[in-house]
Amino acid sequence: MRDVLGYPLEEAKVALEEEGIAIDRIVEILPRRRVELSGRLRVVRQRESGPRRVELVVTREQYVERRTKGSPPAGESPQNG
């Protein structure tokens, strides 16, 4: 079976379909920390679920930490004084 780990989800679907592999389930995981996710879905886990069948775990490519009220944007330091 083709290894699609790290592929964008849409490319992984095409690659597996070309090999006649059926996708039983796609699960999107979310981080426990409070973050904003963005970008494409990417495959972070692939598991055979039967003959010519697979389950995929995906997550977004990027995240941005959520600011708390009054905190500076990411990359900026608070004003002193």
In this structure, are residues 43 and 5 in contact, taking their beta carbons and an 8 Å threshold?
yes
pLDDT at 5: 96
User: pLDDT tens-digit profile of 29-61?
Assistant: 987 777 778 889 999 999 999 999 999 999 998
pTM of the model: 0.73
- Give the domain ranges of the chain: 9-65
Is 80 exceeded by the pLDDT of residue 78?
no
Q: Distance between CA 11 and CA 18 in Å, rounded?
A: 11
Q: Distance between CA 49 and CA 39 in Å, rounded?
A: 27
Mean pLDDT for the chain overall? 85
